[in-house]
Structure 1
Amino acid sequence: MTKKYDKEFKIQTVRLIQEEGKTVAQVARELGLHENTVYRWLAEFKQDGANAFPGSGQLKPDDNALRDLQKELRELREENEILKKAMHYFAKDRR
């Protein structure tokens, strides 16, 4: 079973390295974590800052915005297709 760590724990872990100058190996040993886990958290924090570690099932704000725009685009394309079909249907009636 995989342990789950909350966002605050991950941020505090990263701060031990960045602000207190501890090594990844030292922090991992002190907290009982695998070094690779700490390296991954460090990389995520460096890349995304305050938006890192959004939580289970949550998206980062940029990913969430992209998903919403993709959904809107699909819906608009569907509506456009319906309108095209309706236009052709009504155009036939006029002849």
Structure 2
Amino acid sequence: MSEQRQHYNEEFKQRTVKYIQEQTKSLGDIALELNIPTSTLHKWLAKYRQFENEPVASAQRMRELEQLLQQRERELKAKDRQLAEMEEELTIVKKAMHIFSKPRN
């Protein structure tokens, strides 16, 4: 005797994926809670996942945001150094213009 397969409509799948994204529980725990195979939930996540629905509290999302923040900070420091160098060059050019624009006697 084989089990009859469950069929779920698209709305249920989308709501389930949103529920998964809002939870801090593991996917295995949610699969047990909903009595749906973990592999099925993985497939639904791949198809219906919307990143704006994920809580910032998820560990993976926090790591991604921290990495992004560190990358932005490095970029900002590099631009600050570049700006300081350009300002120094501009100061030198201004001094040179001042020196060479004086009338010679």
Q: TM-score, normalised by structure 1?
A: 0.48
Structure showing greater radius of gyration is 2
Q: Which has the higher contact order (CA 8 A, sep 6+)?
A: 2
